[in-house]
Amino acid sequence: MFFSRELDYALRILRALAKNELLATKQICDVEYIPQPYTYKILKKLEKAGLVKGQRGTNGGYQLAKPNDKITMYDVYIAIEKDLYINECFKPECICPHNSCGKRCLIHVEMIKMQKQITELLKQRSIDEILTGK
């Protein structure tokens, strides 16, 4: 699946944090209807990627680490999925018999073009643009 449930949840978490208020994990779960174990796990990935920042303690919570217009769909995708491959054969560890002896599979070549277009599209769309419908 290209857009996983975890990616969907990550986008919803960013929507909850869009006003840049400090929100507790439970508040995010309640607003976005996301199970708490997923929310915590995803917040850790988003924090590691520098998209959100957490504050510990009684009055702790999470907020955006940078403005919505500086966070792209690509940033979120890579924070959650790590790599963007629209086909298994693009992965470095994959050995495809159709890509050997100096020949490239024509399907592979076309799909690489598509992957580049998708990557560029994801890099062009900020969370702010998506949330405001621009």
Calculate the CA 121 to chain-centre distance: 13
69-104 pLDDT per residue, tens: 999 999 999 999 877 766 666 666 666 666 666 667
Residues in CB range of 22: below 8 A, 6 or more apart: 55, 59, 60, 61, 62, 63
Token couple for 56: 């510990």
Residues in the chain: 134
Give the range among 12-26, 32-46, 105-119 with minimum mean pLDDT.
105-119
Instruction: Give the range of the structural domain holding residue 11, as residue numbers without chain letter.
Output: 5-132
26-57 pLDDT per residue, tens: 999 999 999 998 999 999 999 999 999 999 88
- Report how far residue 50's alpha carbon sits from residue 36's, in angstroms, rounded to the nearest whole number: 21
Other Cβ atoms within 10 Å of 129 Cβ, number: 14
Domain count, the chain: 1
Token couple for 57: 């303690």
